[in-house]
């Protein structure tokens, strides 16, 4: 059996251990599950994607809201505007 060593920061390790423990797993078992799925799918077992919060459209809306706040204006959004930001 082989050993795999990966360097991660302490917070990431501790948080990952807590998530694994909440599922009744230790971190080594969670990593084995990940690697097994990676081999089965011949790729990553999830679709890597950026956080939609940081999309250009959303960042532009946030910049506009910040400018309104800095100008002393009230920031107001319609329900349609808020729903479109969530997409």
pTM: 0.57
pLDDT digits (tens, 9 = 90+) for 20-51: 999 999 999 999 999 999 999 999 999 888 88
Give the domain extent around 10: 1-47
- Residues 81 and 77: their CA atoms lie apart, in Å, by 6
How many CA atoms, within 13 angstroms, populate the side-chain half-sphere of residue 59?
A: 5
- Residues 5, 39 share a domain: yes
Q: The domain that contains 7 carries what CATH number?
A: 1.10.1220.10
Max CA distance (Å), the chain: 64
- Residues 28, 7 share a domain: yes
């Amino acid at each position: 059996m082989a050993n795999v060593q990966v360097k991660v920061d302490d917070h990431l390790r501790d948080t990952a251990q807590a998530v694994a423990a909440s599922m009744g797993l230790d971190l080594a078992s969670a990593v084995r599950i990940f690697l097994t799925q990676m081999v089965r799918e011949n790729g990553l077992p999830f679709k890597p994607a950026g956080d939609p919060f940081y999309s250009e459209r959303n960042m532009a809306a946030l910049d506009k809201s910040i400018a309104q706040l800095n100008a002393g204006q009230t920031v107001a959004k319609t329900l349609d505007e808020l729903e479109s930001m969530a997409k």
